[in-house]
């Protein structure tokens, strides 16, 4: 996708080198915008292979409001392995602490829990919330079906009361759904954007969520838009993203979901990608 590659090029051309908590410097710019029309195909990068199974299983994890790392591991998804709730293991990037964090299953009140229980008090991954929260995702779905012109269909994962208990404060911290001319659009906000490793996942994840919400409300799929904050490339990713830029993008695939009754009953294996012919995968080390 040209929109993604343009962001990469802008960071390489204009990025400022800065330090961060991980100990690996980045090249960063202050703000970028990603835009894609779903009519052009599903936004899964073709200049490197992106494993959609991991994207989709993490999205199911969010939709179900799960906060147990072991659920993801049970789907052979290890993208959250390195993190855990600081209440269980205080954060550190030394090797001993990393090992302890890897072994802990508790993630705390991360993304999906906030989507489904905002305002309740979090107890643990295997206990019910204390008190009644707001099921923001269900509220958006209900609103979509009865008032498509509504401009208040917003889900927030950013809860200041819970940030210190989360494995990682939300990078993509909110999204909005809007319907214009019968097409469902999804707009997400992201404070911190790892362009090489994380952004391709974020694009595909919110693209899949847009697809599911459109099916839920029987609407056409519209535009996917990301408002990106601290948008950066880690310095140890620079050579690999230059390799990506040298590759010619290929036609985008299509997304299909056959068995669908409700987004709340959806299983990631129900959705498949057809016609995906990417360039080979590129290895990027993760900064914890």
Catalytic residue ranges? 171
Q: How many helices (H) and strands (E) does the chain have?
A: 8, 8
Q: What is the DSSP letter of 118?
A: B
3-state secondary structure of 132: coil
Tell me the sheet residues that pair with 18.
26
Please tell me the distance from the alpha carbon of residue 21 to that of residue 214, in angstroms, as a whole number.
38
Q: What is the DSSP letter of 266?
A: -
Please tell me the distance from the alpha carbon of residue 140 to that of residue 278, in angstroms, as a whole number.
34
Cβ(108)–Cβ(85) below 8 Å: yes
Phi, psi of 198 (to 5 degrees): -85, -40
Q: What is the DSSP letter of 121?
A: B
- What order do you get walking across the sheet with 183-194 strand by strand? 16-18, 26-37, 220-234, 183-194, 172-180, 154-156
Burial of 93 (0-12, 13-18, 19+ CB in 10 A): middle
3-state secondary structure of 276: coil
Tokens 């707001």 appear where? 134
Tell me the sheet residues that pair with 183.
180, 220
Please tell me the distance from the alpha carbon of residue 147 to that of residue 140, in angstroms, as a whole number.
10
User: How remote is the C-alpha of 31 from its chain's centroid?
Assistant: 18
């Amino acid at each position: 996708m040209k929109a993604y590659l343009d962001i990469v090029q802008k960071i390489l051309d204009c990025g400022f080198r800065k330090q961060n908590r991980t100990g690996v410097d980045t090249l960063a710019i202050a703000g970028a915008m990603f835009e894609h029309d779903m009519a052009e195909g599903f936004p899964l990068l073709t200049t490197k292979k992106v494993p959609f199974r991991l994207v989709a299983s993490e999205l199911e994890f969010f939709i179900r409001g799960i906060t147990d790392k072991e659920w993801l591991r049970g789907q052979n998804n290890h993208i959250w392995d390195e993190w855990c709730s600081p209440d269980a293991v205080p954060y550190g990037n030394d090797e001993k602490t990393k090992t302890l964090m890897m072994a802990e299953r508790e993630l705390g009140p991360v993304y999906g829990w906030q989507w489904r229980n905002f305002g309740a008090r979090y107890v643990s991954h295997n206990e019910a919330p204390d008190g009644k929260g707001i099921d923001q995702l269900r509220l958006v779905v209900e609103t979509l079906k009865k008032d498509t012109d509504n401009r208040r269909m917003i889900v927030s994962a950013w809860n200041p009361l819970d940030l210190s208990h989360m494995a990682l404060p939300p990078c993509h911290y909110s999204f909005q759904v809007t319907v214009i001319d019968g097409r469902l659009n999804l707009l997400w906000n992201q404070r911190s954007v790892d362009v090489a490793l994380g952004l391709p996942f974020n694009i595909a994840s919110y693209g899949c969520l847009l697809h599911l919400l459109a099916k839920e409300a029987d609407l056409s799929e519209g535009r996917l838009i990301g408002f990106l904050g601290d948008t950066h490339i880690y310095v140890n990713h620079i050579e690999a993203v230059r390799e990506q830029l040298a590759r010619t993008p290929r036609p985008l695939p299509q997304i299909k979901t056959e068995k669908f009754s409700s987004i709340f009953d959806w299983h990631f294996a129900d959705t498949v990608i057809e016609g995906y012919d990417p360039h080979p995968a590129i290895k990027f080390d993760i900064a914890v």
